[in-house]
Structure 1
Amino acid sequence: MKILSKYAAYISISLIGLLFIYLVNLFLMKPYSIDHYLAKELVADLLDSPEYMTYIGIFDPLNPILKHNQKISINSLENSKKNYLSLKQRLETLQKYNPKKLTQLQKITQKIAIFDTQNDIEQYEKFRFHTYPFNQISGNHLNAVEFMTDTHPIRNYREATDYIKRVKKFNRAAKEDLIWLNEQKQLDIFAPKFVFDHVIRQLEELISYQDSENPLMQVFNRKLNKLDISIKQKESLITKLSKTIEHDVKPGYQLILEYMKANYKNANEYHGVWSLPNGEAFYASQLKAYTTTDFTAEEIHQIGLSEVERIGKRMGEIFTALGYEVNKPIGQMMNDLNENSDFLYADTPDRKTIVIADYNQMVKEAEEDVKPYFERFPISPVEVRAVPEYSEKTAAGGYYQAPSLDGSRPGVFYANLYDIKQTPTFGMRTLTFHEAVPGHHFQIALNLENDDLTLYRKMGYRTSAFTEGWALYSEQLAVEAGMTKNLYDELGVLQSEMFRANRLVVDTGMHHKKWTREKAMEYMKETTGMSDTEVRVEIERYIVWPGQATSYKIGMLKILELREKAKDALNEKFDIKKFHTIVLDQGIVPLFVLEDVINNWIDSH
């Protein structure tokens, strides 16, 4: 017995020693494994972002210890500098790994991590203050409220009190944002006038809300009613939140409002980032980061013009097949179709409920129709919800929120139902294909559920060139698979593709060719037939988010190009199911990495 105890002690000491050596290697040296290093870096970044910890859900059981559900990120200049220095160290470490000693999966991981880190370093060093943190679609003031109402969980009394503690920190965050804005002011960087107009209106609304109108209170109250707690506890919580909104939310928003009003006269008279200091270089960096290609702004502009012409020709053919006389521009014909009451929901009090029910039915149909084209399907469900009313006036037509890693929250496709003309029936399936099945939900949920991918490959890198490129590719795949029910549905898909091709033209038009917002809106209206509301919201989005909108079509074109290349090379060996598996199994990758992956697959045959 003594001998066994002695050996057990030796083993325990040895294991502790090995663990100590491993931790020293992981935290104080270049870790032996690049996967372990990036996982450590990701976890460190994760622990620095309480919002992301809440978003993925898996840390919530540890919340009594970590208290992350009580915190928000504070974007101070000091924190930003600290993050930059960490990025410099990360790049140095990543470049020390010899590709010859890495597995094929690790080689891809290294390429992705170096590319992403270099982009972030360049952003800080050259373009740190070139973005607009307060804008009409994804401003800090909107993001904070949306995070609390859509993501922060209230499943028990503790999480309800955490909600209040989190909201209490809005004031400090606003003060740090004000410091950032004043630093930007020194560089003479200001958003365009219309952005000031939107943000001022939004802030005034958020400040003027009474408790019954405030979305922070509305959602809190609704979730409280589902808890098994006493009436006295509920009343106490509501009173505390009311005081917190009055003392910590509104004063912070008031600071930003005063800044916006005081600097209204300084608003940028132009709409493109070419007008900012070193603006052309900034735009080139944005295009590289978002498209993950080396295309110049001019090349992207010309691709867009070519695609607009091609898609318009096909739409004309369908109109002719449907018996229409094509005697006006395609955009005007689509506009007429958009306004045709035959394709619009009646504007009744229950319209949103009816539309959401129809969307959810379309999701179910798509899940059945797509089965012959995929080897794997997400475990996580997806559902459709309406965009919250407080942001629907300026939000995009639809967007997707990923499921949580622990499976407690489904994937959600948010549909914007503010303008009745945003929901013509012939365009609904297209949005379903893009945001849900087989688009964003398939790609993102399968990525999170892929046990073969490391933590970094699942969660450490994002690029809209891949994610949005896949979603747009999914729309065309749906047509090829017969998931559109008639030619009107196909027109809806083509209108969506025309819209993304337009983005190549108008984004580069404004930020490279110095177009005005009005010229871009006119072009998009004439060629897509989108409603005035949609066109305005979209063009204004591209102005505050330069380059991102080009990633959709560029990503789609690359996936189609690679599919055709594989078809030509493999002939009868080509399997569409396998192609989709190869594309999705690597997680989210830059397009140049995806091309390498497909080339290797072709060569392996």
Structure 2
Amino acid sequence: MRLSLALALAAAPPAVLLAPLPAAAQEQPAATESERLHQWFEKKFEEQLQFDPLWLTSLGRRDRYGDLGEYSIEAADWQLAWHKATVEEMEREFDYDKLGPQDRMSYDLWKYEYESAARTAKWRGNAYIFTQMQGVHSSLPSQLISMHRVETPADLEAYISRISQFERALGQLTERAQDNAARGVRPPYFAYDFVIAEAKKLIDGAPFTGGSDTALWGDGKAKIAALLEAGKIDAAAAEDMRRRLEKALRDSYRPGYERLIAFMEADKPNAPKVATGVHTLPDGAAYYADCLRESTTTDLTADQIHQLGLDEVSRIHTEMNAIKQRVGFEGDLDAFFEHVRTAEWNYFPEGDEGAAAYIAAAKAAIDNIERELPNYFGLLPKADLEVRRVEPFREQDGGAQHYRSGTPDGSRPGIYYAHLSDMSANPKNMLEVIAYHEGLPGHHMQISIAQELTGVPTFRTQYGYGAYAEGWGLYAEKLAKEMPNTYTDPYSDFGRLSSELWRAIRLVVDTGVHAKGWNEDQAIQYFSENSPMPLETIRSEVRRYIVWPGQATSYKVGMIRIQQLRAEAESALGDRFDIRAFHDVVLGGGSLPLSLLERRVRDWIAQQKAA
């Protein structure tokens, strides 16, 4: 779900059919009821947006442009109470039976979002506030650099204002981490190391110490220089802005990080030395069950997910053996894993040269597949896509590649980010499949289409569910194989299977760690024995699962459900099945819990059969 950062931390640890159903096939709701509901959704979603200034910024808006928002428990409680009141008002003011299918979907989704937030709110005390995967300590600077556009002096004033609030924002979150630690809820030792190192990098350099500029000092000076060059300020105003920017960094930004570092360093000796799952936390089994429910948007149990993972690992190994035989490799699958993992030809050189080559190759793969998209989709994204290396202050060896969405109006492109500080964690045969997952036809396509939808309440263009989004990303990897000029090298196709295997292993390892008592070493051992992934990537992945319970299960569960729905449609419609229409149905409703996606696809199947 798309929550404010405060709520996300509290909970955790961003067409043919939608486009409404064809008018002839859709129930005709009472216009006044439908219109009233749409107006109500717009009003309530606007209220929700105003809670989160950075969400507004991510949408390209300048409301509350000088604010960071609130990260306290009190703010999270207030927002949850507001959401509860909206559901009660909706149920009181609107007659569900008078609504058509699209409006019922919106009604049910708004209610689902509240019920989900209410369930997870009770587990705030079990949340890891600062880890290598969760934490405003690294996301805030990155968001200001990439999303806070400065085109006027007022924009720069807002930028300085936000930096002046770092001490308060980081302080609120540090207090939450302290409160959870006092209850015995601490992430494992390695999370402390990551957070301390990241925080120190953010205040190491000018204007605090000698050497290179810190990230925000360099970014802020560049933004000021751009205003000066554009003639929007004079030299005296530019110097005054630099002075006040430096003051905000010294008076708020650095103290906020120093407090966080002091807490993490003092508390680190209390952290678990052997990393295990959340089953060790208070009511850990129930907490993890809810993590799975939130991540998969299903009622699958830990045992069911674990077995699903084991079955998928076995199936994928069989397909991998076929490729091993195809390339004429003599030896068993483990030996082939080692061959692929250690082959010099499978890696770019270390350093900037290798990183640049990786970025260029990823762009080429995306450009190739973009030409084929009209043959598989009616809906196409309007937003541009860029491929970038992760900023140095948050780059991690073996860190997972990821996507950051652009603005709905296209003024900021979507960005596929790659961690390239350790090229040994980025084998060439995995490059293509990752580009398809993060870029096209994966996350960029799905998220951009959702943001660009018309004819639905705005909130449906912005909410997101991991099982849907990550399930689509993994489905897109396999879909790309159906398109011309992809995975032409058998080793790249092996990379595709390696990616799918990686997500199947996640089902086994995540549930193994959090429900079956595995520790970090046991999880790494299972992963290494069953995958060709580099060891550094495996270690990074396992540590991700440990601090982010349940999230890693969303990919494969979502992919399988989308594949099942496609198979169901193909079987029901036979020769009348249209792959472009099916994809537009899946993407044209925005991100949905899997139960609502099933309803949407099955309604479409019924309409096609009746047409």
Does the alignment reach a TM-score above 0.5? yes
Q: 1:560 aligns with which of 559, 563, 570?
A: 563
Which protein has the larger Cα radius of gyration, Structure 1 or Structure 2? 1
1:327 Cα shift?
2.3
Provide Cα deviations, 1:203-239, integer angstroms capped at 9, x if missing partner: 2333333333311112223333433244444343333
Count of aligned residue pairs for this structure pair? 565
Q: Does 1:241 align with 2:241?
A: no
**1:17 alignment counterpart:** none
1:335–1:101 Cα change, 3 Å = farther
- Which residue of 1 is the match for residue 100 of structure 2? 103
Q: What's 1:15 paired with?
A: none
- Are the aligned partners of 1:87 and 1:121 in contact in 2 as well (CA < 8 Å)? no
Work out which of the residue numbers 236, 239, 261 in structure 2 matches 1:257. Answer: 261
Distance between the aligned counterparts of 2:134 and 2:225, measured in 1?
30
Deviation at 1:339, TM superposition (A): 2.9
* Distance (Å, rounded) in 1 between the aligned partners of 2:72 and 2:34: 30
For 1:226, what is the secondary structure of its paired residue? helix
Task: For 2:605 and 2:572, locate their aligned partners in 1 and report how far apart those are by CA, in whole Å.
Answer: 7
**Partner of residue 464, structure 1:** 466
Unaligned runs of 5+ in 2: 1-32
Within 5 Å, which residues of 2 pair with 1:575-594?
A: 575-594=578-597
- 1:436–1:442: 8 Å Cα contact kept in structure 2? yes
> In the alignment, which residue of structure 1 is the partner of 2:217?
217
Give the match for residue 52 of structure 1.
Answer: 55
Alpha-carbon distance between aligned partners in 2 of 1:214 and 1:103, rounded to the nearest angstrom: 54
Asked if the contact 1:137–1:394 (Cα under 8 Å) also holds between the matched residues in 2, the reply is no
1:519 paired to 2:522: yes
* Structure 1 contact 334–529 (Cα < 8 Å) conserved: yes
Deviations 1:137-166 (A, max 9, x none): 331211111111121112233222221111
- For the residue of structure 2 that corresponds to 1:326, the secondary structure is coil
* CA distance in 1: counterparts of 2:456 and 2:533, whole angstroms: 40
1:571 aligns with 2:574: yes
Q: Pick from 127, 138, 142: which aligns with 2:138?
A: 142
1:156-209 deviations in whole A, cap 9, x for unaligned? 332222211110100111222233223323422111122122222222333333
Deviates further, 477-486 or 389-398? 389-398
Structure 1: segments with no counterpart, 5+ residues: 1-29, 61-65
For the pair 1:86 / 2:82, whether they are aligned, the reply is: yes
Q: Aligned residues: percent identity?
A: 31
In the alignment, what sits opposite 2:22?
A: none
Greater RCO structure (CA 8 Å; 6+ sep): 2
Distance 1:79 1:195, change over 3 A: same
Residue in structure 2 matching 1:266, options 270, 281, 284: 270
Number of the residue aligned with 1:121: 118
Contact 1:427–1:493 (Cα < 8 Å) also in 2: yes
In structure 2, the CA distance between the partners of 1:223 and 1:356, relative to structure 1 (3 Å rule), is: farther
User: How far apart are residue 464 of structure 1 and its match?
Assistant: 0.9
Alignment of 1:179-578 (within 5 A): 179-211=175-207, 212-227=212-227, 228=230, 229-269=233-273, 270-329=275-334, 333-347=336-350, 349-393=352-396, 396-459=399-462, 461-482=463-484, 483-578=486-581
SS of equivalent residue, structure 2 residue 332: coil
In the TM superposition, structure 1's runs of 4+ consecutive aligned residues that sit over 6 Å from their partners are: none
RMSD between aligned residues: 1.9
Describe the shift of the 1:383–1:207 C-alpha distance in structure 2 as closer, same or farther (beyond 3 A).
closer
Counterpart residue type for residue 74 of structure 1: E
* C-alpha distance in 2 between matches for 1:505 and 1:132: 22
Letter in 1 for 2:244: K
Q: Secondary structure at the match of 2:198?
A: helix
Secondary structure of the residue aligned to 1:505 is: helix
SS of 1:350 mapped into structure 2: helix
Decide whether aligned partners of structure 1 residues 31 and 577 sit closer, same or farther in structure 2, where only a CA change above 3 A counts: closer
Post-superposition offset of 1:395: 7.3
Q: Letter of the aligned partner of 2:382 in structure 1?
A: I
In structure 1, what is the Cα distance between the partners aligned to 2:347 and 2:378? 36
Deviation by residue 1:352-383 (Cα, 9 ceiling, x = unmatched): 22322222222111101333111121111111
Residue by residue over 1:63-109, the C-alpha shift from the partner in whole angstroms, topping out at 9 and shown as x without a partner, is xxx4x221101212321221121122133234444431111001111
Measure, in 1, the Cα distance between the counterparts of 2:352 and 2:72. 45
The question of whether the paired residues in 2 share the 8 Å contact of 1:503 and 1:550 is answered with yes
Q: Distance in 1 between matches of 2:338 and 2:402?
A: 23
SS in 2 for 1:184: helix
User: Which deviates further from its counterpart, 363-372 or 491-500?
Assistant: 363-372
